[in-house]
A = this chain, B = another copy of it.
């Protein structure tokens, strides 16, 4: 599988997203300093998996990209804010992110906290001001984004992760962390795309399950990469999670067990797509990409 269609789609998504995100920051009436701090991390690249997932879902329904691009920007803002706050000295205390100095290393801790706060807040504004959606769609998308990102989602998962540090977790506890810390925002990406496309509740269910499974697969692959990956490729020390005595899929299931589980979730995700009966080529390739990616 050469993932040809997906790679060309991702290129288009990335270009469009760069432009939209950069315009979104430029037009803000705010001190230049906070705009710079927000833009620095937004433009630090990354895989743009969430926007791709949202826009590939729209594509499956034959809907144009323009209907999802603002929500895609909002998603990337929420994801970026979470990385900025995660990297803070009081949290993971990371100096590097994707091979570049982290936000607080460049702008200092205080501006970094505020850049995160600003991105999170602005994400809701982006959706509320999207002229391509109905008010009902906006309210639903805002509600789901807040649930996915807040205490019942990402924030709650982060807290559970911190509470579970330095202790042996059960596989259920580990899965709870990942379902919330990273899973719910990924699931939101697909569901938001479905809502924008006017999907039926059955279709939304299938896409939700698809995204849940690729979310878990994504995380398992992360854990595997952490052991197998090469430092120069992923840009952070290999095996750093193991050094912290942190529970991971390989540590709980063995490396082979983790790989088996990775394929289990990837296959389950593809089953959901088959039941959808839509043009889901991109979404299939996205599930595939997660298995083969090396960073």
Tell whether, in the assembled complex, residue B139 and residue A128 are in contact, meaning their CB atoms are under 8 Å apart: yes
Those of A1-60 within 8 Å (CB) of chain B? 28-31, 33-35, 38
Q: In the complex, which range does the number of interface residues on chain A fall in?
A: 35 or more
Q: Would A135 and B139 count as touching, CB distance under 8 A?
A: yes
- By a CB distance below 8 angstroms, the chain B residues around A140 are 128
Determine if A109 is an interface residue (Cβ-Cβ < 8 Å): yes
Interface residue stretch chosen among A151-159, A255-263, A287-295: A151-159
CA distance A117 to B110 in the complex (A): 15
- A248-287 contacts to B (CB < 8 Å): none
List of B residues within 8 angstroms of A91 by Cβ: 110, 113
Q: How far is the CA of A109 from the CA of B92 in the complex (A)?
A: 12
Q: Is there a chain B Cβ closer than 8 Å to A136's Cβ?
A: yes
CB of A122 within 8 A of CB of B150, answer yes
Nearest opposing residue in chain B for A137, CB measure: B135
Interface locus among A141-149, A199-207, A208-216? A141-149
Per DSSP, are chain A's interface residues mostly helix, strand or loop, or mixed? helix
Q: Which residues of B contact A158 (CB under 8 A)?
A: 114
Q: Which residues of B contact A145 (CB under 8 A)?
A: 124
Give Cα A212 to B87, complex, Å.
37
On whether the beta carbons of B117 and A90 are closer than 8 Å, the reply is no
A121 touches B150 (CB 8 A): yes
> Are A30 and B114 in contact, CB atoms less than 8 angstroms apart?
no
With A152-B28, A159-B34 as contacts: A143 and B120 at CB distance below 8 Å: no
**Closest 7 CB pairs between A and B?**
A121-B150, A90-B109, A125-B146, A128-B143, A135-B135, A30-B151, A30-B156
Q: Can you show 27 pairs from A to B with CB atoms below 8 A apart?
A: A28-B151, A28-B152, A29-B156, A30-B152, A30-B159, A31-B156, A31-B160, A34-B151, A85-B113, A89-B90, A90-B108, A90-B113, A91-B110, A91-B113, A111-B162, A117-B120, A117-B150, A118-B150, A120-B121, A121-B146, A122-B150, A124-B145, A125-B146, A125-B150, A128-B140, A128-B142, A128-B146
